[in-house]
Homo-oligomer: A and B are copies of this chain.
Amino acid sequence: MALISEHIESDTRERILEVAERLFRQIGYQKTTVGDIAKELRMSPANVYRFFESKKAIHQAVARDLMGEVELEARRIVAQPGPARERFRSLLTTVNRMNTERYVGDSKLHEMVEIAMQEDWDVCVVHIECIASIIGEVIAQGVASGEFEAPDLPLAALCTCTAMLRFFHPQMIAQCATKPGPTIDQMIDFVIAGLSPRH
């Protein structure tokens, strides 16, 4: 019985997040109320509040899920066989593509990002650190295969993330599209050059 009820609980939590994300995309974060979410699920707002203390808590959980999808795909790329350089390029390109799809193409979700940045969420820092550590794994594989040279792995990963800010950061992806700059492939070549063995 405990297991079943736990299952139902987590199922309800998931359904709340699915509906919330859909409404955030359709009518925007600001306009969506907890009442709207409850109504869609045919439950009382009080029941929604049993799972999330506030609309902000729902917002953060939705953002966490969206970021989690990027992290999952990144881990999948790292686990693939083949040269580290190719997976390194594929990893950076995928983070750019998924962040662009999620936060830039969708103006309603972009509103969520603006708020997350303004309120300076920990979920963003956790995501940055996760992506950096996954990038660090590929660099480590490249060091092992002799493709890369990186005396300080965590630092090399952070510098890679920082170098890619224009292509990773939702606000920069949107803003820099009209500014002079390299293509993502040219930027990845530049970063790979910095990680390549000196001799």
Chain A interface (Cβ < 8 Å from any Cβ of B) = 117, 120, 124-125, 128-129, 132, 155-156, 158-159, 161-163, 165-166, 169, 171-172, 175-176, 178-182, 186-187, 190-191, 193-196, 198-199
List chain B residues, Cβ under 8 A from A117. Answer: 175
Is there an interface contact between B182 and A124, defined as CB atoms closer than 8 Å? Answer: no
Q: B residues within 8 A CB of A172?
A: 165, 169, 172
Interface of A is mostly: helix
Kindly report which residue of chain B lies nearest to residue A124, judged by CB atoms: B179
Copies in the complex: 2
Closest-by-CB residue of B relative to A197 is B198
Bound form: Cα–Cα A175–B195 in Å: 27
Contacting residues, chain B, for A193 (C-beta < 8 A): 193-195
CA distance A187 to B159 in the complex (A): 6
Q: Are A187 and B162 in contact (CB under 8 A)?
A: yes
A162 touches B178 (CB 8 A): no
Is B175's CB under 8 angstroms from A158's CB? no
Contact yes or no, B129 A180, CB < 8 A = yes
Q: Could you tell me the distance between the alpha carbons of A193 and B171 in the complex, rounded to whole angstroms?
A: 28
Cβ–Cβ < 8 Å partners of A129 in chain B: 180
Q: How far is the CA of A117 from the CA of B129 in the complex (A)?
A: 27
Check B175 against A162 for contact (C-beta < 8 Å).
Answer: no
- The distance from the CB of A184 to the nearest CB of chain B, in whole angstroms, is 10
